Amino acid sequence: MPYTGPRCSLCGRPTDSPETGLCAKCIDRRPFYDQLFYYGLFEGTLKEALHHLKYRPLRRLAKPLIRFMDNLIIPEGVDMVVPVPLHKKRLIERGFNQSALLAKAFADNRGLPFDPLVLRRKVHTPPQSQLKRAERIKNVHNIFDATGNVEGKTIVLFDDVITTGATVNECAKALKSRGSAQVYVVALARA
């Protein structure tokens, strides 16, 4: 089910009141991305489906999962869709990047250019799922580099699940440091 409850207008974190505007975390430290959009909460059937995609692996789930996002409204003028990258070592271990599969399906459904090589993960780190919030932030600090031509571009940065937002924030920082005009984060689920 799509999440339609109150949320932070910047990071999308569910809030208690529709009057909240920005959550305390975004007020305290504004993220590098311009806005975050997602389909639903990382629970129930959506969580199970994403686990099947990522760990089974059932790659064929990418396209049907993206169909849930057909009604998700994102800003106009997007120049390209870019997935959160895996380090080369993890990509070899897993055999695929689930965020890239989802990002490609998302881009295809919307007729947007897809470029899986714009971002690079420079450092192999432990999986974020095994870490606490503070460890997650430290784990991804300065490990991404934008390698493609992103100057002046509006980019959709795609990830499968947003938990703390540390990974996408670091990716957005790398893209903005290379001159991206806007970075909108899109994810299938938010924890």
Residue 15 lies inside a defined structural domain of this protein: no
Summarised one tens digit per residue, pLDDT across range 123-134 is 887 677 776 767
Q: Is 22 within the bounds of a domain?
A: no
Q: What is the CATH number of the domain that holds 74?
A: 3.40.50.2020
Q: Which residue has the higher pLDDT, 139 or 20?
A: 20
pLDDT digits (tens, 9 = 90+) for 30-65: 999 999 999 999 999 999 999 999 888 889 999 999
CB of 123 within 8 A of CB of 87?
yes
Q: Once rounded to an integer, what is the mean pLDDT over residues 144-151? A: 93
Token pair of 138 as six digits: 């430290």
**Residue 16 predicted with pLDDT over 70:** yes
Query: Domain span at residue 160?
Result: 40-190
**Domain assignment present for 70:** yes
Asked whether residue 34 is assigned to any structural domain, the reply reads no
pTM metric for this prediction: 0.93
- Tokens of residue 116, six digits: 């899986």
* Domains identified in the chain, total number: 1
Flag whether 131 is in a domain: yes
- Let me know if residue 65 belongs to a domain: yes
User: In this structure, is residue 6 part of a structural domain?
Assistant: no
CA distances from 31 to 61, 91, 108, 154, 173 (A): 30, 27, 28, 16, 9
Give the tokens for residue 109.
């459904």
CA distance 19 to 145: 37
Q: What is the pLDDT of residues 95-115, one digit of tens each?
A: 999 999 999 999 999 999 999
Residue 135 lies in a domain: yes
3-state percent helix, strand, coil for the chain, nearest multiple of 5: 40, 20, 40
